[in-house]
């Protein structure tokens, strides 16, 4: 063990992290197993060598020769091991963020080593403490740990920084901060008493933290509490930036950096950033100075005030000339020249980007009322949640491997309808009697659909709920349900229909075949023996030997099982179906949407008899369930996932937000001048949707929906786009526009129809594909730029993007352009500032009417794509 200033505490349980640096890389081990990590001698020797301090083998002490990663002491390989140890498994003693942030504060390698030692010590201590607690000992070990570590003042410093950062977690483990006075004192090297934490529970002072309602003895303690516990909130309230060259204020560092690079040259970047107190406009050289200033001068802004909230429009009281450490005190007063576009209407502060304003808004102006309604700790929870949400969100952006597998192996391999399949259908139709044409075609197509379903399901031994549902919603009775399921999955429990019926009712599909007294209109008999059901395969029909429509295959020998299971009941469609409507696929989404999306062709029978299959499919994608992956949510390119773009959740505490209190409504009102609804009534204090979920906000403005960071439920009135497709749609073939989408039921004005879903990609990436894309007949790119009304939508700080539905998409990719459309496109901000695109009915739409929206595509040189929308005001070209 070293002595004097080179004290290293021997700790048996410490994992071996102790290596000594001498010269460039000569690190010896005092005692491989017994060392407290890093003696001071190591720390002082050759401190700026950026070689990893990990060791490769403990037996013969093989040291790692790799370079340490930036800001750390470890290489790529050793860092995770260290972090794992430092975090102490489940308890996550030192979270990565805290550790990395502290590392960034280290001015030298020596400081890094000390921080590292502090972490290791904490880890060791906790392990010991936990093991003792388990053996029945329960006491406050804080004095002990501080006494041990205080032999090395440098490490103490870091430990004391580390502990407050992780205080809440440690409080539970160490038992401080619970009941009694929580002053934890220790001697530092100079013998002075260091107050680690002073948080006296004294409700009588009435000094409460406005976020977590804890009581504090004075402003100083409250200030420390904010900088330790509510660091993020403090950031959104106080931390701004100034350009040190021209003193222009900024609220977002990236925007400032861009400004410096563009206006003053990149070489000045690191010297040009000052930290600015947003409350009083004082500037500081570094964050520490700013925090000190905040704690000494602005603590009154942390308190829960009894006084009523500041009236709207009244500026926040600004303290002027407050800190002696301020370098440029008040230099900026009156210099807010509008370079920051977004002004908080409540306090007058200006912000560079929307999320910053959103976060500020939430922290500063969750009105006293809503703060009061929040459960203790809510504010912190809300903001902390963002991190977890973000990673989950990131994950959810990619299709899960099982989904990918299912999509690719299912749709790509098994769901291909070949032209021979179609030719088979066509051939059969040619031979069939015209009077029964529709029935025959339905039957044959249904047979094919059944085959396709059964193929994709073959790999699965049990049907999932989705599988059961997709069958359940198209069968005529429980007998046929059982039969259809057994064909694909083997023997099923007889009461599977109960589950199927429940699944249907859960998503609002009305069925009555589960009831005891139900009699199947198709005459299906119960007690049907599934073993006799032949596998449903597309028959290789000889043109000349076509089963007669009037004599469908006698499946069970009794004539009981006919075409009924997969033939859509024409009653489903309110508009008059022509006999010539042929269902090609019952659900192009294959169960992914709440309602099946039927694909049909309407043909004049005689015309159809003459049509060759390849002609039928000449335009765009061959068939609408082929050549792309059906997805119900957009897929975001990872380069576009940026925490800066995340939108905060609201602070409402109810399952259903109310517009008067919801932060999203406040945010909208704060950002937009006098917006009105589609009837001309001011929007102030209202959701973009009415009580029937119909959009009422005027076009051009973004809609801010509640998101997954809010605690409201999925049925919150401010979550409409997120509900997904709730209207019945059908894909059909047009004469000269390829496939199209029509309403399969009347759609009232204002109804959300569907989201334009696809891969969200940067404009540049999308443009790379445009050339090849425009050469092909079809383009599935949604050009955001042409749908954003710059006067009404703030895009600062976001990069231009497009939605490409070529490879991944939903039913919206089949909606055609019209110069006189019946759908409007709305930008809907949910979890990211990169808005979703919602298609809403802008008129009452009748069943059977084709849906369309205005693509607003730029006209390309040359012939482009001639428009066949047929509107009187047709511009002649789609693009
Ligand atoms: C997003 S896709 C729409 C679905 C497409 N019709 C299909 O069959 O897959 C856009 C393409 O449809 C065609 N299209 C859409 N609207 C059209 C219109 N009004 N006139 C002619 N073609 C149109 C163009 O080929 C365009 O590139």
- Average pLDDT over the chain reads 65
- Provide the pairing of β-strand 759-762 with 752-755: unpaired
- Report d(CA 813, CA 106) in Å as an integer: 52
How far does the centroid of ligand 1 lie from the alpha carbon of residue 746, in Å? 23
User: What's the pTM value of the predicted model, to 2 decimals?
Assistant: 0.44
Assign 3-class secondary structure to 144-188.
Answer: HHHHHHCCCHHHHHHHHHHHHHCHHHHHHHHCCCCCCCCCCEEEC
- Report d(CA 96, CA 387) in Å as an integer: 12
Among 111-120, 246-255, 451-460, 783-792, which range has the highest average pLDDT?
Answer: 783-792
The ipTM, to two decimals, is: 1.00
Put the strands of the sheet holding 598-602 in their side by side order: 581-585, 598-602, 729-733, 739-743
Please report the pLDDT score of residue 8 as a whole number: 31
Q: Does the CB atom of residue 865 touch ligand 1 within 6 A?
A: yes
Among 29-33, 200-204, 448-452, 873-877, which range has the highest average pLDDT?
Answer: 873-877
Among 481-490, 537-546, 572-581, which range has the highest average pLDDT?
Answer: 481-490
Average confidence (pLDDT) over 124-131: 58
Please report the pLDDT score of residue 63 as a whole number: 75
Please report the pLDDT score of residue 432 as a whole number: 35
CA 782 to chain centre: 20
Among 76-80, 253-257, 409-413, 728-732, which range has the highest average pLDDT?
Answer: 728-732
Q: Does the CB atom of residue 704 touch ligand 1 within 6 A?
A: no
- DSSP 3-state of 826: strand
- Report d(CA 181, CA 134) in Å as an integer: 25
pLDDT band at residue 365, thresholds of 50, 70 and 90? Answer: low
Looking at per-residue pLDDT, the higher value among 501 and 845 belongs to 845
How far does the centroid of ligand 1 lie from the alpha carbon of residue 630, in Å? 18
How far does the centroid of ligand 1 lie from the alpha carbon of residue 738, in Å? 6
Q: Does the CB atom of residue 620 touch ligand 1 within 6 A?
A: yes
| pLDDT of 844 higher than 90 | yes
pLDDT band at residue 533, thresholds of 50, 70 and 90? Answer: very low
Average confidence (pLDDT) over 832-856: 94
Q: Does the CB atom of residue 69 touch ligand 1 within 6 A?
A: no
- Residue 800, phi then psi, degrees to nearest 5: -65, 140
Please report the pLDDT score of residue 856 as a whole number: 92
Average confidence (pLDDT) over 254-271: 76
Token pair belonging to 754:
């569907």
Average confidence (pLDDT) over 580-592: 83
> What pLDDT digit, counting tens, does each position of 333-351 carry?
333 333 456 776 666 677 7
- Residue from 425, 734, 745 nearest 601 by CA: 734
How far does the centroid of ligand 1 lie from the alpha carbon of residue 804, in Å? 14
How far does the centroid of ligand 1 lie from the alpha carbon of residue 817, in Å? 7
Number of Cβ within a 10 Å radius of residue 531: 8
- Report d(CA 876, CA 879) in Å as an integer: 9
| pLDDT of 561 higher than 60 | no
Q: Does the CB atom of residue 733 touch ligand 1 within 6 A?
A: no
Ligand 1 atom with least separation from CA of 819: 19
Please report, in angstroms and rounded to a whole number, the separation of the first and last CA atoms in the chain.
Answer: 78
Measure Cα distances from 388 to 121, 384, 708, 775 in Å. Answer: 27, 7, 11, 43
Q: Does the CB atom of residue 619 touch ligand 1 within 6 A?
A: yes
How far does the centroid of ligand 1 lie from the alpha carbon of residue 620, in Å? 8
Q: Does the CB atom of residue 623 touch ligand 1 within 6 A?
A: no
Please report the pLDDT score of residue 258 as a whole number: 82
- Report d(CA 195, CA 228) in Å as an integer: 14
- Report d(CA 281, CA 301) in Å as an integer: 15
Please report the pLDDT score of residue 722 as a whole number: 96
Q: Does the CB atom of residue 737 touch ligand 1 within 6 A?
A: yes
| pLDDT of 774 higher than 90 | no
| pLDDT of 762 higher than 80 | yes
Q: Does the CB atom of residue 778 touch ligand 1 within 6 A?
A: yes
How far does the centroid of ligand 1 lie from the alpha carbon of residue 815, in Å? 7
- Report d(CA 826, CA 402) in Å as an integer: 32
Average confidence (pLDDT) over 841-850: 93
- Residue from 729, 672, 724, 661 nearest 697 by CA: 672
Looking at per-residue pLDDT, the higher value among 454 and 678 belongs to 678
């Amino acid at each position: 063990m070293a002595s004097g200033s080179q004290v290293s505490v021997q700790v048996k349980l410490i994992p071996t992290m102790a290596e000594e640096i001498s010269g460039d890389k000569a690190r010896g081990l005092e005692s491989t197993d017994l060392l407290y990590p890093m003696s001071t001698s190591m720390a002082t020797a050759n401190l700026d060598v950026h070689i990893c301090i990990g060791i490769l083998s403990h037996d013969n002490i093989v040291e790692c020769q790799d370079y340490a990663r930036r800001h750390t002491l470890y290489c790529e390989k050793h860092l995770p091991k260290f972090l794992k140890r430092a975090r102490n498994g489940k308890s996550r003693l030192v979270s990565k963020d805290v550790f990395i942030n502290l590392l960034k504060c280290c001015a030298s390698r020596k400081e890094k080593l000390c921080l590292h030692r502090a972490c290791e010590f904490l880890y060791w201590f906790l392990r010991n403490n936990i093991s003792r607690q388990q053996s029945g000992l329960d006491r406050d070990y804080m004095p002990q740990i501080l006494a041990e570590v205080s032999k090395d003042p440098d490490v103490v410093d870091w430990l004391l920084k580390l502990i407050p950062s992780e205080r809440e977690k440690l409080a539970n483990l160490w038992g401080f901060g619970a009941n009694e006075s929580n002053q934890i004192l220790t001697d530092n090297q100079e013998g002075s008493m260091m107050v680690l934490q002073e948080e006296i529970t004294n409700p009588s002072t009435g000094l409460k933290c406005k976020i977590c309602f804890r009581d504090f003895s004075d402003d100083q303690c409250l200030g420390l509490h904010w900088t330790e516990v509510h660091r993020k909130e403090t950031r959104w309230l106080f931390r701004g930036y100034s350009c040190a060259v021209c003193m222009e204020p900024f609220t977002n560092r990236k925007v400032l950096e861009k400004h410096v690079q563009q206006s003053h040259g990149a070489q000045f970047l690191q010297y040009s950033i000052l930290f600015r107190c947003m409350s009083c406009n004082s500037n500081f050289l570094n964050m520490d100075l700013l925090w000190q200033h905040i704690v000494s001068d602005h603590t009154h802004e942390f308190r829960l005030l009894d006084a009523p909230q500041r009236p709207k429009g009244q500026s926040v009281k600004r303290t002027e000339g407050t800190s002696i450490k301020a370098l440029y005190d008040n230099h900026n007063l009156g210099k807010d020249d509008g370079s920051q576009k977004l002004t908080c209407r409540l306090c007058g502060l200006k912000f560079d980007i929307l999320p910053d304003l959103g976060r500020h808004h939430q922290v500063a102006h969750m009105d006293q009322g809503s703060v009061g309604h929040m459960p203790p700790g809510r504010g912190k929870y809300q903001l902390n949640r963002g991190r977890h949400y973000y990673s989950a969100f990131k994950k959810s952006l990619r299709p899960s491997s099982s989904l990918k597998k299912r999509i690719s192996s299912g749709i790509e391999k098994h769901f291909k309808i070949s032209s021979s399949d179609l030719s088979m259908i066509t051939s059969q139709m040619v031979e069939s009697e015209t009077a029964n044409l529709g029935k025959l075609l339905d039957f044959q197509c249904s047979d094919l659909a059944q085959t396709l379903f059964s193929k994709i399901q073959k790999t699965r031994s049990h049907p999932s709920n989705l599988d059961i549902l997709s069958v359940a919603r198209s069968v005529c009775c429980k007998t046929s349900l059982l039969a259809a399921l057994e064909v694909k999955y083997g023997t099923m429990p007889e009461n599977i229909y109960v589950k199927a019926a429940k699944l249907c009712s859960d998503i609002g599909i009305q069925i009555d075949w589960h009831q005891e007294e139900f009699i199947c209109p198709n005459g299906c008999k119960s007690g049907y023996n599934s073993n006799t059901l032949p596998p449903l395969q597309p028959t290789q029909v000889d043109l000349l030997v076509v089963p007669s429509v009037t004599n469908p295959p006698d499946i069970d020998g009794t004539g009981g099982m006919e075409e009924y299971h997969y033939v859509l009941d024409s009653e489903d469609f309110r508009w008059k179906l022509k006999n010539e409507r042929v269902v090609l696929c019952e659900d192009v989404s294959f169960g992914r949407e709440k309602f099946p999306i039927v694909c049909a062709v309407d043909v004049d029978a005689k015309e159809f008899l003459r049509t060759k299959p390849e002609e039928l499919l000449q335009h765009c994608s061959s068939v609408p369930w082929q050549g792309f992956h059906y997805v119900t949510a957009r897929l975001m390119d990872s380069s576009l996932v940026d925490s800066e773009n995340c939108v905060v959740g609201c602070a409402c505490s109810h399952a259903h937000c109310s517009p008067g209190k919801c932060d999203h409504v406040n945010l909208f009102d704060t950002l937009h001048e006098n917006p009105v609804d589609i009837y001309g009534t001011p929007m102030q204090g209202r959701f973009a949707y009415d009580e029937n979920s119909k959009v009422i906000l005027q076009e051009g403005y973004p809609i801010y929906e509640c998101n997954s960071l809010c605690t409201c439920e999925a049925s919150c009135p401010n979550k409409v786009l997120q509900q997904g497709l709730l209207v019945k749609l059908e894909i059909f073939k047009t004469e000269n526009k390829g496939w199209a989408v029509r309403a399969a039921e009347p759609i009232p004005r204002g109804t959300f129809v569907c989201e334009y879903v696809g891969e969200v990609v940067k404009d540049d990436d999308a443009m790379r594909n445009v050339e090849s894309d425009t050469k092909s007949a079809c383009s599935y790119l949604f050009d955001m730029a042409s749908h954003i009304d710059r006067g009404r939508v703030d895009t600062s700080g976001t990069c231009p993007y497009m939605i490409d539905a070529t490879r991944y998409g939903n039913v919206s990719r089949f909606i055609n352009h019209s110069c006189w459309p019946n759908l409007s496109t709305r930008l809907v901000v949910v979890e990211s500032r990169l808005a979703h695109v919602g298609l809403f009915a802008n008129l009452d739409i009748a069943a059977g009417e084709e849906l369309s929206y205005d693509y607003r595509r730029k006209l390309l040189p040359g012939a482009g794509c001639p428009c066949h929308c047929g509107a009187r005001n047709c511009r002649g070209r789609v693009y």
